[in-house]
Amino acid sequence: MGALTQLSLIIFFGAISSVVSWPSGAPESVCNSLTPSHGESQARGADQSPYNLVQSHQDYNGGDRIKVTLNAPQGYSFRGLIVQAYDPHTNAVIGKFEAGKGLKTIDSCSAVTHTDRRGKRSATLVWTAPNSGRGNVAFRATVVQRFSDFYTNLHSSVNPNN
């Protein structure tokens, strides 16, 4: 193989690796921004998102479990997600999520992410409050519709019927 061919292959594979998504979920390194590294793709804001993030309660006591649901409307699906729990008064991350089918936790930043890139219509998450104390919790998310289309800064609404 000639030097030019080898150089072409190195450049080609280097370019591919720089735009590869995280099919097995977001890495811990995105905890601060909740933003994927999807090459030149630009994030869309929550105001453009078709997705709905709903939590069952805002108040918690130590050890409480709160259900959080991410839903896609009819005709939509999503391939990836990262959802993070935080105190709406201090912005500090709090509590932890339970792992579930197709989900893995990132306990260091109170987050949960997908484990595969199959299309999903919804995801039901369970968050567990810190063992002691009480307070309020809110959730923020990034949802990946497909590699080049993702929505950041989604915030949860409260629906006790969730």
pTM: 0.80
113-149 pLDDT, tens digit each: 989 888 999 999 999 999 999 999 999 999 988 766 7
Task: Count other C-beta atoms under 10 Å from residue 136's C-beta.
Answer: 14
Q: What is the mean pLDDT of residues 46-61?
A: 93
How many domains, the chain?
Answer: 1
Q: How confident is the model at residue 72 (pLDDT cuts 50, 70, 90)?
A: very high
Q: What is the mean pLDDT of residues 84-99?
A: 97
Question: Measured between alpha carbons, how far is 113 from 80 in angstroms, rounded to an integer?
Answer: 7
User: Does 13 fall in a domain?
Assistant: no
User: Does 153 fall in a domain?
Assistant: yes
Q: For residue 23, what pLDDT is reported?
A: 59
Q: How confident is the model at residue 15 (pLDDT cuts 50, 70, 90)?
A: very low
User: Does 29 fall in a domain?
Assistant: no
Check which CATH number belongs to the domain holding 134 and give it: 2.60.40.4060
Q: For residue 149, what pLDDT is reported?
A: 79
User: Does 21 fall in a domain?
Assistant: no
User: Does 20 fall in a domain?
Assistant: no
Range of the domain at 57: 40-158
User: Does 140 fall in a domain?
Assistant: yes
Q: What is the mean pLDDT of residues 47-69?
A: 96
Match 């309660």 to its residue by tokens: 57
